[in-house]
Structure 1
């Protein structure tokens, strides 16, 4: 990633330091440099090219070839050259740098209080790029010609704004205005009034880098409640933005690793244990998602007196994609936002905030978007372009060009029409950016015949199409990140749902094999039935009816202490009559069943809520004894596990203890299962992937047990372990023509 990050000015200065002549330019495959000079100087230049590169740059490979001298007298920065289609890595958006912040608040500086201040080390990239190579005419800044001052900086190789494509100032660039009904306020007054509105407990729509946010005072319970009601977001946690890292440290626990992630160049939302409670922000959750200001506008708002902790959530109605076009935002957010802070600069594409955390196996991405997308996450050996469509939930795409796997930003759940529209837009956008034609690609989709991605693939005029089984793609995504195509592993793929080879709903699968040779299913969760199909994912008691049907001597679960609602009786009737029941090995639905038995008997309002509830409940105790979850004959048997949960409820054991013993039991069962399978397969490497492994408590319980077994454990690092990483695994499997 060497374009849009100040790399060419860095090369120019490095060449000057070592008294080298030649030139540097952007090309389709990266940055090209021609050097003439003494051999020791050239060698030092090549060495420092990697060790001294700008912080946002990422060099995957340096190719050095001899060239005939042309007698250059100096070193120059040349215009970009077009030869073939581009394969360069586009830089993600970057947070405003310290130097720009100093200028932003310096009354003597030309860009004093200018909300679009940026330089080659910071500012928008992916959200303003319209095409490659990355030059100003191919950005959303193309309609703002530079004035003499900015043009001078832009053309000066010694200036940090040299070829900073979005560079501008208040004289020649875009600005912000506040709209309250029919009233518009411009300039610094708009920022000051906005801060006042937030202090007054109002809800504001703020245009950011990749879309609009809805913001309000996180400590104002009435404002948060109003935001939930207007946005139709019942219980799913909101993220917050803290004024600075000192405030962040007051509201969440910051380890060194968490602080590093929070302040890193991606500036994601970071999940961490809460030290303070904000009414209504993260109901029934001991964690809080916190991020720091990353645009000049954010810093201006806080400096103008905005509350020091703001709810900052995607501007949309629940489950819809983030609004990013001005007219659409104003129309769709009427009735939600009390006012709009609108910037003139168009957004090229919608990009949400990323979500990450530090866990048992290091930093992990839960939602990959701003700050990470569309960076290349792997190099896959293939000659033709590959387009992998991902899954229907938490959708993200992967485009492989010249072997580089570019993963799109998070798109969302495709059951919503607007999210599916965003899915189609992102396909067109990626193909256009890298100048790939649809009839060139190997098109990859999930094996589920009714997935929206599968049905869409059937309508696309690609010459070759490949279906990849969902859970194998999870395992392949981890191996693709590491470029391990031949490593034989035991892969654990646990999630809520996915089409299995036998047409049942899988989700508790263990495989052995490699990406190159394919993955054989060697074990799984004991099969149960799922009454009503996908609807069981929204009602834990409905999932419970299918799993509990295999247990004898059940108490009356509709009576105390369980108090299951009438839906359980109806689901049990379906199971008894075998009507609309589907076979399943879903670990996600097993967690839902445990949640129902422990006390979560209502409908969920967001995906994974019941399992998250169990995890959060279990965190209240350090109990280390687990329920039995035996592994025999290729199956993890859930019956003793659930029987123990029931007996514990009947005898009045504390709910947090039951939840903890359930979690510990699951971890121990997985560990014993892997002990046996790894010995049988002669494998020393274990791969863990799938949405269930977002459960950080489960990973924390697993790690010491797998360490004792001497197993090397790999998890997702570059893409989410949930379905947001599926498309990378699909692309890897398809490159080796492996669908199983």
Structure 2
């Protein structure tokens, strides 16, 4: 059982001195071209110095203890500048004028390699790291926002060891490539994608693979490979000294836990992996995950909003009191509104592990203190789900008022807030895995009409299916399938020859044991994947859906199935009947998978066109994790081509649950009247 914090006992103050929101956190950015040139200049005093930086680049958020961003408010406070660094800092003509983290090898922190009790420094350290990686070893490497586990991406044995030790049998690993040319050899890149890879954010970019060998190792059953280029001096130095051109660079943490960023947290990983550790002497104040992006018809959509992003959003939300919203339990973020300014945290993780809960709690505490928010005067928003950790946490805060916000309405509101269209009436389609509905049921295929200011009315949904075994249905796709077709002709089941747990799930459904109604499109994806042969358990969230998209990408549209909008629900029964008949006739699973995506897209377009006409609006919004599926989104845009309907989207926050706290804040701002 997870612990539920009582914030009153954990040092979260009820009052704090008032401070206008003049300062906030600054984003971490990639090393700039000037510093990179200097890094490899033998005449520079920072030649081959990993912690090279200037006012235009480097970490900020990961090192800040307080605002404003000044040296004494960072983890560099105890490192005193040498006379030459001090002179640079004080000289308005020098490019390091007021470089708060300014340092050099003579006065600043450095790196060393710890291997079996041996310590390596300087160039010998880098050569040894490259030697180990080329020999198939796994290393722990400290970067700006925390530790990464690193190995040769083409070394199948090394990657398999990493999978076994971390309990990640099939989930994709991100890789770092030496440069853009190396990236082009393994993925297809548009000009826009190249620009994103080289941007100051330096995110992990999900790009279409052109290397079957590499995909089979780091991203099985996936159309994309997640890759990034170096964003720190240290990473450039690793490649300079001969590290493999393609290295796995994944956060050093066990599933569900926060990224390790302090040396005293390393013990378990070092013991499990028996690996060398590249340790940096500069302390990290808070761990920062790598941002993950993908370019779709909805723009450069972040899947995980973290490193490189500004916490201060370029929007305003009116409110006579501060607002604190705590998001949902998965892909959690928090949002703070004060003086009409909006600050949104980075991705904090899933509230399933104690360590992540501690990170969440500390983030709330930091944001309240740094922005001078008096909690007793603050309106606190949270998700409707009564069992969420974030819900119970929020309810224990001594705020001015506590208000629950429905999950899927928050999804819609986040995009409208970013587009500054709080009063605009829209048709909203929100498809995801699960969210607690206003009727107490599990929603996930929702159709709304309305605006943030007037409120959203639920005008329809996916036809209700059975969630057999409750949350377990999200782990077992065959169980999800039984929840959708369990009432079909039993002779079909014999002909389909579906393995366990399908027959067992049918018996559970018949006895109505832990079986609940759901409108989840996430479970619809699981069910279709199971029908077409994905009979594994989901080893990570969305695995079956990703595999289904991968399967569909191998075919063109040859079949489209009936998926009618009745005016109140999307009826999946004809869809499954036709897919099953196609399967029994011997049609390729990839053709059926492609047909499913096109059919779902057509159903979405039918809903949008019908309700836009009925309610006299030309705006529609797509949100929820299902719309991270680029194939589905592409089909929707293709089918709407030539229409007057505009799909509103923004690439500032994800479509998944990272956006929930912002949507909660927007709804509270628009609807609370003091």
Deviation at 1:724, TM superposition (A): 0.9
CA deviations on 1:210-243 (whole Å, 9 max, x unpaired) are 1100000001111111111111111110000000
Quick check: 1:377–1:406 contact (8 Å CA) kept in 2?
Answer: no
Does residue 208 (structure 1) correspond to residue 143 (structure 2)? The answer is yes
Deviation at 1:680, TM superposition (A): 0.8
Instruction: Identify the match of residue 314 of structure 1 among 239, 242, 251.
Output: 251
Quick check: 2:332–2:657 contact (8 Å CA) kept in 1?
Answer: yes
Q: 1:124 to 1:454 in 2, by over 3 A?
A: same
Quick check: 1:516–1:738 contact (8 Å CA) kept in 2?
Answer: no
Deviation at 1:552, TM superposition (A): 3.4
Q: 2:515 maps to what in 1?
A: 581
Distance in structure 1 (CA, Å) of the matches to 2:310 and 2:480: 36
CA deviations on 1:489-543 (whole Å, 9 max, x unpaired) are 0111110100111111000001111111110001111111211111100111111
Instruction: Identify the match of residue 183 of structure 1 among 118, 121, 126.
Output: 118
Distance in structure 1 (CA, Å) of the matches to 2:319 and 2:100: 33
Distance in structure 2 (CA, Å) of the matches to 1:610 and 1:178: 40
Q: 2:65 maps to what in 1?
A: 130
1:332-411 aligned within 5 A: 332-336=269-273, 338-411=275-348
Q: 2:524 maps to what in 1?
A: 590
Distance in structure 2 (CA, Å) of the matches to 1:337 and 1:719: 38
1:607-622 aligned within 5 A: 607-622=541-556
Distance in structure 2 (CA, Å) of the matches to 1:335 and 1:353: 24
Does residue 171 (structure 1) correspond to residue 106 (structure 2)? The answer is yes
- 1:285 alignment partner, SS class: coil
Task: Detail structure 1 runs of 4+ shifted over 4 Å in the superposition.
Answer: none
Could you tell which deviates more after superposition, 722-731 or 371-380? 371-380
Quick check: 1:531–1:546 contact (8 Å CA) kept in 2?
Answer: yes
Distance in structure 1 (CA, Å) of the matches to 2:441 and 2:146: 39
Distance in structure 1 (CA, Å) of the matches to 2:374 and 2:127: 48
Does residue 327 (structure 1) correspond to residue 261 (structure 2)? The answer is no
Distance in structure 2 (CA, Å) of the matches to 1:308 and 1:564: 44
Could you tell which deviates more after superposition, 707-716 or 517-526? 707-716
- 1:631 alignment partner, SS class: coil
- 1:376 alignment partner, SS class: strand
Q: 1:333 to 1:505 in 2, by over 3 A?
A: farther
Quick check: 1:478–1:714 contact (8 Å CA) kept in 2?
Answer: yes
Quick check: 1:515–1:733 contact (8 Å CA) kept in 2?
Answer: yes
Distance in structure 2 (CA, Å) of the matches to 1:87 and 1:470: 31
Deviation at 1:435, TM superposition (A): 2.4
Instruction: Identify the match of residue 251 of structure 1 among 186, 189, 192.
Output: 186
Q: 2:403 maps to what in 1?
A: 466
Deviation at 1:147, TM superposition (A): 0.6
Q: 2:442 maps to what in 1?
A: 505
Q: 2:361 maps to what in 1?
A: 424
- CA RMSD of superposed structures (Å): 1.6
- 1:641 alignment partner, SS class: helix
- 2:381 alignment partner, SS class: strand
Deviation at 1:337, TM superposition (A): 5.4
Q: 1:624 to 1:149 in 2, by over 3 A?
A: farther
Does residue 438 (structure 1) correspond to residue 372 (structure 2)? The answer is no
Distance in structure 1 (CA, Å) of the matches to 2:310 and 2:384: 26
Deviation at 1:639, TM superposition (A): 0.4
Quick check: 2:299–2:650 contact (8 Å CA) kept in 1?
Answer: no
Does residue 676 (structure 1) correspond to residue 610 (structure 2)? The answer is yes
Quick check: 1:213–1:313 contact (8 Å CA) kept in 2?
Answer: yes
Does residue 636 (structure 1) correspond to residue 570 (structure 2)? The answer is yes
Does residue 667 (structure 1) correspond to residue 612 (structure 2)? The answer is no
Does residue 521 (structure 1) correspond to residue 458 (structure 2)? The answer is yes
Distance in structure 2 (CA, Å) of the matches to 1:209 and 1:182: 24
Q: 2:12 maps to what in 1?
A: none
Q: 1:222 to 1:377 in 2, by over 3 A?
A: farther
Unaligned stretches of 5+ residues in structure 1: 1-81
CA deviations on 1:318-352 (whole Å, 9 max, x unpaired) are 22211111110244442125110010111111110
Distance in structure 1 (CA, Å) of the matches to 2:144 and 2:659: 23
CA deviations on 1:43-76 (whole Å, 9 max, x unpaired) are xxxxxxxxxxxxxxxxxxxxxxxxxxxxxxxxxx
TM-score relative to the length of structure 2: 0.95
Q: 1:439 to 1:360 in 2, by over 3 A?
A: same
Distance in structure 1 (CA, Å) of the matches to 2:65 and 2:268: 25
Deviation at 1:738, TM superposition (A): 6.6
Q: 1:706 maps to what in 2?
A: 640
Quick check: 2:256–2:352 contact (8 Å CA) kept in 1?
Answer: no
Q: 1:87 to 1:569 in 2, by over 3 A?
A: farther
Q: 2:621 maps to what in 1?
A: 687
Instruction: Identify the match of residue 159 of structure 1 among 91, 94, 101.
Output: 94
Distance in structure 1 (CA, Å) of the matches to 2:448 and 2:315: 22
Quick check: 1:530–1:581 contact (8 Å CA) kept in 2?
Answer: yes
Q: 1:96 maps to what in 2?
A: 31
Deviation at 1:554, TM superposition (A): 4.8
Q: 1:534 maps to what in 2?
A: 471
Deviation at 1:429, TM superposition (A): 2.0
Which has the higher relative contact order, 1 or 2, with Cα contacts under 8 A spaced 6 or more apart? 2
Q: 1:496 maps to what in 2?
A: 433
Unaligned stretches of 5+ residues in structure 2: 1-16
The number of aligned residues is 655
Q: 1:28 maps to what in 2?
A: none
